Amino acid sequence: MLKKIAYILFCITAILLSLCLSFFSFFDQMKARYGNAILLILSLILVICFLADVKKTRQNILDKNDLFLWLYILILTIGVNFAQNKDIAMSWYFNYAVPIVIIYYLFKTQFSLIKNIDNVVILICILADIVAIIAILEFIFHKNIIYEKFVEGYNYRFYLKSHRAMSTQLIPPVLGTYFLACIPIALFIIYNGLFLFFFNNFRNVSF
């Protein structure tokens, strides 16, 4: 029963995480207000997943392959001690390093249990397409309704003048990184012929 609950919670978390990464401008504002609550919820979900399979949890925690993750966290921790403003550095560290560890172990324990990976891949690809369409429209019309009406984009006007699209990612470099991360997903869809599966389902829903 607990394993089923853990799996459902993980699926919900994975979907929400995909949405947050795709529409980061909205998530960034939400994180500023509810960051501690989000971390608490993620921590509780991770604890439930650990308790659902204690034996697997021991293997995951003691896995030597996690050495590079903890080495990265250690480097971040050392960097905080040399920061000029330690208060800001600690706040950034808490909001960045802690979620990385939680999400890493959450996916490590539950991702292999996903029954239909195709649906996950298609969801990510659809979200990437939406982000790309927003970027194209922003480039053509030199306007982005997200930063005009909903989100405060500090560099919005500057990037508009320089003809660099922000889309949903606050700054162009992050947008480029997002698309770069989505390339393997697109290749997976093409290689496995999932674009025909998606097209047929879209046609059936539309007509």
Give the pLDDT of residue 82. 82
Tell me, rounded to whole angstroms, the distance of Cα 71 from its chain centroid.
Answer: 22
Q: Tell me the whole-structure pTM to 2 decimals.
A: 0.73
Q: Distance between CA atoms of 84 and 62, rounded to whole angstroms?
A: 35
- Which DSSP category does 172 fall into? H
Q: Distance between CA atoms of 187 and 200, rounded to whole angstroms?
A: 19
Give the pLDDT of residue 92. 78
Instruction: Please name which of 99, 105, 79, 101 lies closest in space to residue 90, comparing C-alpha atoms.
Output: 79
Give the pLDDT of residue 135. 92
Q: Answer for the pair 132, 179: CB distance below 8 angstroms, yes or no.
A: yes
Structure token digits, residue 57: 């949890």
Q: Which regions of the chain are under pLDDT 50?
A: 199, 201-207
CA distances from 116 to 106, 112, 120, 122, 163 (A): 18, 10, 7, 11, 40
Q: Is 121 left (phi over 0), alpha (psi -120 to 50) or beta?
A: alpha
The three-class DSSP label of residue 155 is: coil
Give the pLDDT of residue 64. 78
